[in-house]
Structure 1
Amino acid sequence: MKISVVRPADLGASEIARWRALQQTDPELGNPFLAPEFTLGVGRFRPGVRVAVVEDGGEVAAFLPYEHARAGIGHPVGFGLTDLQGIVAPPGLRLDARDLLRACGLGVWDFDHLLAHQPTFAPFHSVRRAEPVMDLSGGFAAFLEEARRASPKTHKTLRYKERKLGREVGGVRYVFDCRDEAELDRLMAWKSDQYTRTGRVDRFARPWIVALVRHFHRTGFGVLSVLYAGDEPVSAHFGLRCGSVMAGWFPAYDTRFARYSPGMIGHLRLAEGCAAAEITEIAMGRGGKEFKEGLKSREISIAEGRVARPLSRHAAGVALHWARAVPLNRARDAVLTNRKLYDRADRALRAYARLRSGHLGRK
């Protein structure tokens, strides 16, 4: 095996074609977060993005996209933004994970949404979870009927609220692929407000993330969908598309219309729009949103963990990273896997956000 490391922009046309071919060897590799477009896009704005190219017998056998930070710390590309991570390789390929890190010049590699079935990193899993998927392969009508059977009360309530929205605000319509950048800016403003309101870190306060989202929208890799009531935009979603797979990414809504559940109405309309555009599945991503339970058709098994080379020249950085990250990750895992703890943490974050907002308002 030969492993070389390159910047994304240095990948040639034949290597990109091979990347796409490897995606076809495993259904889960079709996710947009594992597409070359995602790594190439993030690489435009993040200088530490690299790709390990693994060759065997003169042919490329695998690609590992990653970000190289200081002190030999490595992460998947777009760490903190991605809902699926992994090595782009045939399902049965098993590499020595520590040899791979050595070739990449890394002392440690963290992951939190890794495809759990990939053998290379299986020994390093610390937690396994599941991500929900909306299966549209049978068409929207079949999906809708299955969702209705799985959660009839939710479906009935949602349809009632959609009719009520149409009566009280204006006729409901949905634009699946909106090219208006002003609507994209509106979605990011809604999302920033949501992050602040719920005590989360505002991702759109980081200029590189704003630039990345705009880049994906302009190139067509990102799809902006907007739900309107009359002339009022009430909810929106920005996702990534790779062939027949949509990855949900940034949903948001106007809080003035919260009583109509515009986010859930939007997700149902998104499924209808995706089916019409020959998209056969929507990966909804990990999260504690209960509405996903009523819409999911199946799940993808994902894993969290880390690979470390304690005896590498980055040993000090590895040890410091462990001390900072692992206890925090374990505490977060306890919250994510316990519904009561999750709800308490969510309430605490919201209370903190209200206190912070009040304090800033008095200044």
Structure 2
Amino acid sequence: MKVTAIRPDDLGAAEIERWRAIQATDPALANPFLAPEFTLGVGRVRPAVRVGVVEDGSDIIAFLPFERGPLGVGHPVGFGLTDLQGVIAPPTLGLNARTLLKGCGLSVWDFDHVLAHQPTFRPYHTVRRVEPIIDLSPGFDVYLEEARRAAPKTHKTIRYKERKLGREVGELRYEFSSADPADLRRLMDWKSDQYTRTGRTDRFARPWIVTLVEHFHRTGFGVLSVLYAGDEPVSAHLGLRNGGVMAGWFPAYDPRFGKYSPGMIGHLRLAAGCAADGITEIFMGRGGKEFKEGLKSREIPIAEGRVARPSLGAGLHWARTTPLNKARDAVLKNPKLYARADRVLKTYARLRGARS
């Protein structure tokens, strides 16, 4: 096995074609976060992005997109922004993970949303979770009927608030794909406001993320959908599309209309729009939101963990990250702790706002 680490823009047409051919061997690899467009896009704004090209003789058998940090600590491309990660390889292909890291010049590869069924990283899982998926392959009407049966209360609430929004604000209209940069700017403003209100780090305060989002929107890899009530835009969603698969990415809404749950209404309209445009799956991202339980069709297993080779960088990385990861996992596993942590963050955000 030979591994060569190259810049994304050094991938030629033959390598991209091979990447897509490998994707076709495993349905989970169709996720947009694992498409070459995502790695190429992030590589435009993050100079440390590389792709490990794995060869067996004259054949390319796998790709590992990664970002190399100090001391050889590696992360998946777009770490913190991705809801699915992994090696681009046929589902039965198991590589020696440490040999793969050595060929990529890495001492550590740290992951938090890796495809759990991939054999290469299975020995290194520390936590397993699931990612919910909306399955639209039977058609939207069939999906909706099954979702209603599984979570009747959720869908009754959505329909009630949908009618109430239409009566009190204006007739609802949904634009599945907007190319208007002003719509994207509005979504980012809404999302920044949400991050501030809830005590989270504002991702759109980082220029490289803004540039990346604008690039994906401009090229069509990012699909921006907007829900209107009359002339008022009330919610929006930017997802990534790879053929018939969409990955949810940045949902946001105008807090003036929060009492109508416009985000939930928007997600249901998004599913209808996707089905009409030939999309058969929507990856919703790792749990933490109750409304996803009322919309999902099925789940796939994902995992968190790290692969390390003996080195100073690996030791320092373990000391810095392991206690924090264990604490975060305890919170995510316990609904009461999760709700309490959410309340603490919101209180902190209010106090921070009052001081400023």
Q: TM-score, normalised by structure 2?
A: 0.99
The residue number in structure 2 matching 1:174 is: 174
The residue number in structure 2 matching 1:145 is: 145
Whole-angstrom CA distance in 2 between matches of 1:241 and 1:265: 21
How far apart are 1:56 and its partner, in Å?
A: 1.1
The residue number in structure 2 matching 1:357 is: 353
Secondary structure, in 3 states, of the residue corresponding to 1:305?
strand
Counterpart among 348, 352, 357 of residue 344 in structure 2: 348
The residue number in structure 2 matching 1:190 is: 190
Gaps of 5+ in 1: none
Moved beyond 3 Å, runs of 4+: none
AA in 1 matched with 2:14: S
Deviates more, 1:158-167 or 1:74-83: 158-167
The residue number in structure 2 matching 1:300 is: 300
Whole-angstrom CA distance in 2 between matches of 1:71 and 1:225: 41
How far apart are 1:44 and its partner, in Å?
A: 0.1
Whole-angstrom CA distance in 1 between matches of 2:72 and 2:52: 15
The residue number in structure 2 matching 1:89 is: 89
Counterpart among 319, 326, 330 of residue 330 in structure 1: 326
The residue number in structure 2 matching 1:245 is: 245
Whole-angstrom CA distance in 1 between matches of 2:183 and 2:44: 23
How far apart are 1:153 and its partner, in Å?
A: 1.6
Matched, 1:7 2:3: no
Matched, 1:134 2:137: no
The residue number in structure 1 matching 2:33 is: 33
Whole-angstrom CA distance in 1 between matches of 2:72 and 2:154: 48
Secondary structure, in 3 states, of the residue corresponding to 2:120?
helix
Whole-angstrom CA distance in 2 between matches of 1:153 and 1:344: 25
Question: What is the root-mean-square deviation of aligned Cα atoms in Å?
Answer: 0.6
Whole-angstrom CA distance in 1 between matches of 2:59 and 2:71: 32
AA in 1 matched with 2:192: S
AA in 2 matched with 1:26: D
What CA deviation, in whole Å up to 9, does each residue of 1:167-226 have, x standing for no partner?
Answer: 111110000001111000000000000011001111000000000000000000000000
How far apart are 1:287 and its partner, in Å?
A: 3.0
Does the 8 A contact of 2:108 with 2:307 survive in 1?
Answer: yes
How far apart are 1:301 and its partner, in Å?
A: 0.3
Secondary structure, in 3 states, of the residue corresponding to 1:120?
coil
The residue number in structure 2 matching 1:285 is: 285
The residue number in structure 2 matching 1:320 is: 316
Gaps of 5+ in 2: none
Whole-angstrom CA distance in 2 between matches of 1:157 and 1:15: 48
Secondary structure, in 3 states, of the residue corresponding to 2:294?
helix
What CA deviation, in whole Å up to 9, does each residue of 1:119-146 have, x standing for no partner?
Answer: 0010000000000000000010001101
How far apart are 1:320 and its partner, in Å?
A: 1.3
Whole-angstrom CA distance in 2 between matches of 1:71 and 1:57: 30
Whole-angstrom CA distance in 1 between matches of 2:309 and 2:57: 27
For 1:39-188, what aligned pairs fall within 5 Å after superposition? 39-188=39-188
What CA deviation, in whole Å up to 9, does each residue of 1:99-131 have, x standing for no partner?
Answer: 011111111110000000000010000000000
Whole-angstrom CA distance in 2 between matches of 1:131 and 1:287: 6
How far apart are 1:152 and its partner, in Å?
A: 1.1
Whole-angstrom CA distance in 2 between matches of 1:53 and 1:108: 17
Secondary structure, in 3 states, of the residue corresponding to 1:211?
helix
